[in-house]
Amino acid sequence: MNVAGADRNRRLVTAGAGTALALVMGLALLAGFRLATQIRSSITELQTASELQTYPSVLTQQLTALRQRLETREYTGQAHEELAGTVARFKHDLRRLARRSDMQSPQLRDAQRMWQAYSPLLAPILAFSGEPYVDTDSGSSLSDSGKMYYRNVRQAQLLAKQNVGRLHRLLTAVTRSLETQTSGAAARLRLLLSGGVLAALALAAAAAYLQLTRARHERAAREAQEQTRDILKTVREGFFLLDADYKIGSVWSEALAHIFGRNDFAGLSFEKLLEDRVPPTTLATAVKYIKLLWGDRAHENLMKSINPLGQLEISADNGRGGKETRYLQFDFHRVVGAKGVKHVLCSVSDITSNVLLARELQEAQENANAQVDMMVGMMHVDPLQLGSFLDTTETGLQLINAILKEPARTDGEFRKKLGGLFRELHSIKGEASALNLMSIAQRVHHLEDMVSELKKRAELSGNDFLPMVLKLDELLAHLRGVREMATRLTALKDAPAAAAPAAATRQKPSPAERPAGRTGEDISPTLRALAEKLAKDHRKAFKLMLSGLAEVPAPYVATVKDCLIQMLRNSAVHGIEASATRRAQAKADVGAVRVDFRRAGEGYELVFEDDGAGISPQVLKDAALRKNIITAEEAAAMDTRTAMALIFRPGFSTQEEVTMDAGRGVGMDVVARTVYGLGGKIGVSTNPGRFTRFKIVLPAAEAASSAVA
């Protein structure tokens, strides 16, 4: 039995005993009251009986006196009145005793019969009202009525004299009987009073015991409440109870106030607790889950396994006027009573540090895996090509660092910096992806995310760029690690012939030292590797056909590579259809992507073409409208050529979701800016559903060098 049940039984027993004692005492007092009333009546009757004992002798004396007065011819009026009064009192008191239900003694009946013998003789005496005397010459004498009156008095006097002793004894016996009854009643009253006193003492003892027990239990309850308060103050989890209306009870732990930043929880519904902190869909799911917990047939362990609030992301005040993301874990336990579920105990834990730590561990694991993947990938990259990429990337990152340090004051100047950062980062990410250096590509992608978030802000300041500086330092450190790893891998590969590579390295001129007419590195392997990766990532099947890339002049290698990387990514994401789609359109399952670089007059011509979905001008205009790049009036006035030019607008993309390969809206913008910067031209032609062709015209290498200079 639990403590609450034992305490309840103890209270019931004490209350029952107290009620019984109070009932006994009440009955004793009632019986005592009745006995006291009876004793009071008995005392009155005893007094009456005591007076009745004197009446026989008084009556005899009064009759004797009346007789003597008649014989001596004295005045009889006063004696007659005294006799009448005595007879009346005797008759009244005798009837009074006879009316008592408990006074049916034989002595009283005998006394009544004797008195009935007196009545015929006393009646004419008491009824006499005439003059007993007459005057004669010889003096006063009895009149005729006086003589009759005298005879009656004498007979009554003789009867009274004869029976006075017996009547006195009968009345004395009646008095003694009354004394006996009164004494018995008094004894019973004493007994009842003693019992009442004992009952009162027992009741007082029970009350005292109840009070002591109650005080002890109240003290224990206060101690339990104090301990509960201490527990609720100390625990780091937020505890509260939900009632059947899904509202919070009046008791909760103090940690709940720290977690939610409020103190008004009493009567607050669970839905209001999470409102404005979680998405509506999550809130609706949580409320449905809470309602399921009240079902009698709900399996609690199964319900725990589908808890949608096991890791809840909420937006909370950070105490500095802003918002921060925190993670809470809700656990629910049903409190079941005799009639079913009474409450649901909810515990809330702030697991933000655990989640962040888990993410750090996951990131560390991913970084370690990325390091391994990078090492494996680097083993398949030409060392010269890798070194060229690292040099180019470090140069690009130094340019990004210079852009970040560039002073700016107005919002327009800050947004101009963002545009420059976006273009440089996108170029680096594209080449890293082409070389399958995903650890670098992912870090650059994260920097792009930061730039995108800054673009969404209404106002910008220099402090907003500080996090990017830290991430840039991390990326530079990572590049140094990659370079060191590449050096070690090269040393391991070429250890048996260390001298030969050194000589070859000394004999091979750097790209900057090569004559303008010489070709640079062969970018074909890079593009083929990127095509395989894109086909695998996007579940596309296409064949890349390259022509003339070995003849790209050294000054154009970087430009051509950046342009082809971007266009190849666009083709894989937007152009080439899935095999099932191509088959439905009577196309070959495997798509075709062709790249051709050739001389054209005094300059060069780069053609990129795929046989994919083509570009729809209307789709371009719709996407530009969604992104607020153009207005509806501008869209209506656009012809096909103007609509096609939208693909070169900064921030334009037909893809809504940002991925590693698309969605930023800076790819073709970078291509166009690079080509225009070299004095070249770029054009696009398409047939929706059939093909897309990009044509880039570049000037002679010498002219490009002059333009750059």
Say what the pTM is.
0.43
Asked if residue 223 belongs to a domain, the reply is no
From CA 297, how far away is CA 295, in angstroms rounded? 5
pLDDT tens per residue, range 42-71: 787 777 777 777 888 888 888 898 888 888
Contact between 170 and 49 (Cβ < 8 Å): no
pLDDT of residue 594 exceeding 90: yes
From CA 493, how far away is CA 501, in angstroms rounded? 11
- Please tell me whether residues 297 and 403 are part of one structural domain: no
Percent with pLDDT over 90 in the chain: 4
Range of the domain at 270: 238-350
pLDDT of residue 315 exceeding 80: no
Q: What are phi and psi of 599, to 5 degrees?
A: -75, 145
> Quick one: pLDDT band at residue 92, thresholds 50, 70, 90?
confident
Pairing mode, strands 681-687 and 691-698: antiparallel
**Residue ending a domain, choose from 177, 212, 247:** 212
Asked if residue 233 belongs to a domain, the reply is no
- Please tell me whether residues 706 and 652 are part of one structural domain: yes
- Please tell me whether residues 632 and 531 are part of one structural domain: yes
pLDDT tens per residue, range 520-547: 567 888 888 888 888 888 888 999 999 9
The pLDDT, as a whole number, for residue 597 is: 92
pLDDT of residue 353 exceeding 90: no
pLDDT of residue 298 exceeding 60: yes
Interval 620-637 mean pLDDT: 82
Domain of 452, CATH number, reads 1.20.120.160
Domain of 706, CATH number, reads 3.30.565.10
From CA 65, how far away is CA 132, in angstroms rounded? 15
Chain-centroid distance of CA 635 in Å reads 52
From CA 455, how far away is CA 418, in angstroms rounded? 7
The pLDDT, as a whole number, for residue 373 is: 63
Q: 148: which 2 tokens?
A: 């009759």
The pLDDT, as a whole number, for residue 507 is: 41
Residue with tokens 């083929």: 528
pLDDT of residue 260 exceeding 50: yes
In three-state form (DSSP H/G/I as H, E/B as E, the rest C), the secondary structure along 644-665 is: HHHHHCCCCCCCCCCCCCCCCC
Asked if residue 263 belongs to a domain, the reply is yes
- Please tell me whether residues 252 and 312 are part of one structural domain: yes
Asked if residue 229 belongs to a domain, the reply is no
Total domain count, the chain: 4
Interval 460-488 mean pLDDT: 77
The pLDDT, as a whole number, for residue 318 is: 64
Asked if residue 591 belongs to a domain, the reply is yes
- Please tell me whether residues 365 and 340 are part of one structural domain: no
> Quick one: pLDDT band at residue 505, thresholds 50, 70, 90?
very low
The pLDDT, as a whole number, for residue 598 is: 92
Interval 311-336 mean pLDDT: 77
Interval 120-139 mean pLDDT: 83
Asked if residue 509 belongs to a domain, the reply is no
CB atoms within 10 A of CB 357: 11
Interval 427-439 mean pLDDT: 73
pLDDT of residue 303 exceeding 50: yes
- Please tell me whether residues 575 and 485 are part of one structural domain: no
From CA 445, how far away is CA 429, in angstroms rounded? 7
pLDDT tens per residue, range 360-409: 888 777 767 766 666 666 666 667 667 777 777 777 777 777 777 777 77
- Please tell me whether residues 251 and 375 are part of one structural domain: no
From CA 679, how far away is CA 239, in angstroms rounded? 70
- Please tell me whether residues 683 and 581 are part of one structural domain: yes
**Residue ending a domain, choose from 334, 350, 366:** 350
Interval 314-324 mean pLDDT: 70
Instruction: Count Cβ atoms within 10 A of the Cβ of residue 216 and give its class: 0-12 exposed, 13-18 middle, 19 or more buried.
Output: exposed
- Please tell me whether residues 615 and 643 are part of one structural domain: yes
The pLDDT, as a whole number, for residue 355 is: 84
- Please tell me whether residues 479 and 529 are part of one structural domain: no
Longest dimension (CA), the chain: 207
User: Measured between alpha carbons, how far is residue 607 from residues 267, 459, 596, 610, 685 in Å?
Assistant: 71, 42, 5, 10, 11
> Quick one: pLDDT band at residue 322, thresholds 50, 70, 90?
low
- Please tell me whether residues 609 and 691 are part of one structural domain: yes
pLDDT tens per residue, range 651-670: 667 665 656 555 555 567 77
Determine the straight-line distance between the first and last CA of the chain, rounded to whole angstroms.
95
**What is the length of the chain?**
709
Asked if residue 608 belongs to a domain, the reply is yes
Interval 216-223 mean pLDDT: 81
Mean pLDDT of the chain: 78
Q: 482: which 2 tokens?
A: 């990659």
> Quick one: pLDDT band at residue 3, thresholds 50, 70, 90?
very low
Asked if residue 380 belongs to a domain, the reply is yes
Contact between 526 and 544 (Cβ < 8 Å): no
Domain of 252, CATH number, reads 3.30.450.20
Q: What are phi and psi of 436, to 5 degrees?
A: 65, 30
**Residue ending a domain, choose from 350, 375, 404:** 350
The pLDDT, as a whole number, for residue 4 is: 52
- Please tell me whether residues 545 and 603 are part of one structural domain: yes
